[in-house]
Chains A and B, each alone.
Chain A
Amino acid sequence: MIPEQFGRVAVLLIFALGFPMLPLAISFLFGLLKIRPAHPDPVKNATYECGVEAEGSSWGQFNARYYLFALGFVIFDVEVIFLYPWAVNHATMPLYTILKAALFIGILLFGLGYAWRKRALEWR
Chain B
Amino acid sequence: MSEQPMRPATPMLRQIAEHRSLLQRFMGVSKEWKGFALLLLGGLGLSNLAIAYVVIDGRLDGQWYDIRDLGNVTQHLRSWMQDEGFHPAVPYLTTALLGALGILSVVGGWLLIGSWVERRVLAKFQIRQGPNRTGPFGLFQPIADAVKLMQKEVVIPRVADKFLYYAPPVIIFIPAILGWGPVPWAGKMSFLDLNVGVLYTIAISSLGVLGVFLAGWSSNNHYSLLGAMRTVAMMVSYEIPISLALLAVVLLTGSMQLSTIVAWQANYNAWLIFLLPFAAFTFLFASTAEINRTPNDIGEAESEIVAGFYTEYSGMKAGLFMGVELGNAILVGAMMATFFLGGYTMFGLETWIPGYLILAAKIGAVYFLFVWLRGTLPRFRLDQLMGYAWKFLIPLSVVQVLLVAVEASIFARWETPALFPLAAFALLNLGLTVEMVRRWAHALGYAPEVAQQQPVMATAIGGLKAAQKMRGG
Contacts and interface: CB of A to CB of B under 8 A. Distances in A.
Given A16-B177, A90-B408, A109 B398 contact: yes
A26 B150 contact: yes
A46 interface: yes
Contacts, number: 221
A45 to B, nearest CB: 5
B193 to A, nearest CB: 7
Interface of B is mostly: helix
Interface in B160-189: 169-170, 172-174, 176-178, 180-181
Contacts of B405: 87, 90, 98, 101-102
A69 B236 contact: yes
B178 A13 contact: yes
Most-contacted residue by chain A among B155, B255, B406 (CB, 10 A): B155
B154 A35 contact: no
A9 B405 CA distance: 32
Nearest to A37: B153
Q: Which of B156, B237, B390 has the most CB of A within 10 A?
A: B390
Interface in A88-123: 88, 90-92, 95, 98, 101-102, 105, 108-109, 112, 115-116, 121-123
B386 interface: yes
A109 B406 CA distance: 18
A71 B111 CA distance: 35
Contacts of B173: 16-17, 19-20
Contacts of B151: 27, 30, 35-36
> Chain A binding site: helix, strand, loop or mixed by DSSP?
helix
Contacts of A105: 398, 401-402
A54 B233 contact: no
A98 B409 contact: yes
A9 B458 CA distance: 55
Contacts of B87: none
B97 A11 contact: yes
A2 B232 CA distance: 32
Contacts of B284: none
Contact of B251 (A11, A65, A73, A90): A90
A38 to B, nearest CB: 6
Contact of A87 (B96, B159, B250, B316): B250
Interface string A25-41: 01100110001111110
Contacts of A42: 158
B289 interface: no
A115 B228 CA distance: 24
B70 interface: no
A16 B199 CA distance: 20
A38 B394 CA distance: 50
Interface string A49-78: 110001001110011011001101100110
Given A8-B191, A45-B155, A84-B198, A24 B170 contact: yes
B332 interface: no
B383 A123 contact: yes
Given A19-B177, A24-B170, A105-B398, A47 B157 contact: yes
A11 B240 contact: no
B368 to A, nearest CB: 25
B194 interface: yes
A57 B233 contact: no
Contacts of A46: 157-158
B366 interface: no
B312 interface: yes
Interface stretch (B39-47, B215-223, B417-425, B463-471): B215-223
A120 to B, nearest CB: 9
Contact of A88 (B176, B243, B250): B250
Contacts of B225: 58, 62
Contacts of B172: 20
A12 B100 contact: yes
A70 to B, nearest CB: 6
Contact of B387 (A45, A87, A115, A121): A121
Interface in B314-337: 315-317, 319-320, 324
A14 B103 CA distance: 13
B81 interface: no
B306 interface: yes
B214 interface: no
Given A20-B169, A36-B150, A90-B409, A58 B256 contact: no
A23 B174 contact: no
Interface string B283-320: 00000000000000000000000100001100111011
A123 B198 CA distance: 31
B280 interface: no
Across the A-B interface, give the 3 residue pairs with the lowest CB-CB distance, nearest first.
A123-B383, A91-B412, A16-B177
28 contacts: A11-B100, A12-B103, A12-B177, A12-B178, A12-B192, A13-B178, A14-B100, A15-B103, A19-B104, A20-B169, A20-B172, A20-B324, A24-B317, A24-B320, A26-B316, A35-B151, A39-B153, A45-B155, A46-B157, A50-B306, A57-B159, A58-B221, A73-B240, A81-B199, A84-B199, A87-B405, A90-B254, A90-B408
